Amino acid sequence: MKFTKAAVSGALALAVAIFAGQGACRKKTFDYDARSTIVLGQYASLTGGTADFGKSSNDGLQLALEQINASGGLLGKQVSVTTEDDQSNSDNAVAAVSKLINRDKVSAVIGEVASTRSLSGGGICQSSRIPMLSPASTNPQVTKTGDYIFRICFTDDFQGKICARFAKDQGWKRVAMLTDTANAYSKGLATAFKENFPVDMIVADENFKAEDKNFEAQLNKIKATNPDAIYLPAYYTEVGLIVTQARRAGMTMPFFGGDGWDSPQTQSNPDTVGCFYSDHYSANDPSEATQKFVKAFAKKYGHQPDAMAVLGYDAMGVMAQAIKDAGSADPKAIRDALAKIKNYDGASGQITIDENRNATKSIVILNVTGKPVPDLAKRYDPGE
Return residues touching another protein (CB under 8 A): 49, 181, 206-209, 211-214, 216-218, 220-221, 224, 237, 240-241, 244, 247-250, 265, 269-270
Burial-class residue 252 by CB neighbours within 10 Å (0-12, 13-18, 19+): exposed
CB of residue 263 vs another protein: minimum separation in angstroms? Answer: 10
CB of residue 122 vs another protein: minimum separation in angstroms? Answer: 27
CB of residue 52 vs another protein: minimum separation in angstroms? Answer: 8
CB of residue 47 vs another protein: minimum separation in angstroms? Answer: 10
How many Cβ atoms sit within 10 Å of the Cβ of residue 260? 25
CB of residue 268 vs another protein: minimum separation in angstroms? Answer: 9
- Residue number with CB closer to another protein (209 or 295): 209
Which amino acid, residue 74?
Answer: L
Alpha carbon of residue 252 to chain centroid: 32
CB of residue 264 vs another protein: minimum separation in angstroms? Answer: 10
- Residue number with CB closer to another protein (108 or 114): 114
Q: What is the dihedral of CA 140, 143, 146, 152, to 10 degrees?
A: -160
CA 307/CA 23 separation, integer angstroms: 40
- Residue number with CB closer to another protein (78 or 265): 265
How many Cβ atoms sit within 10 Å of the Cβ of residue 72? 10
Q: Which residues is 134 bridged to in the sheet?
A: 151
Q: Which residues is 78 bridged to in the sheet?
A: 37
- Residue number with CB closer to another protein (16 or 249): 249
CB of residue 191 vs another protein: minimum separation in angstroms? Answer: 16
- Residue number with CB closer to another protein (242 or 337): 242
- Residue number with CB closer to another protein (92 or 278): 92
Which amino acid, residue 298?
Answer: A
Q: What is the helix (H) or strand (E) element at residue 160, kind and residue range?
A: helix 156-169
List strands edge to edge, sheet with 109-110.
78-85, 37-44, 109-110, 132-134, 149-151
- Residue number with CB closer to another protein (122 or 240): 240
CA dihedral for 234, 239, 242, 243, sign (positive or negative): positive
For the chain, how many helices (H) and strands (E)? 12, 15
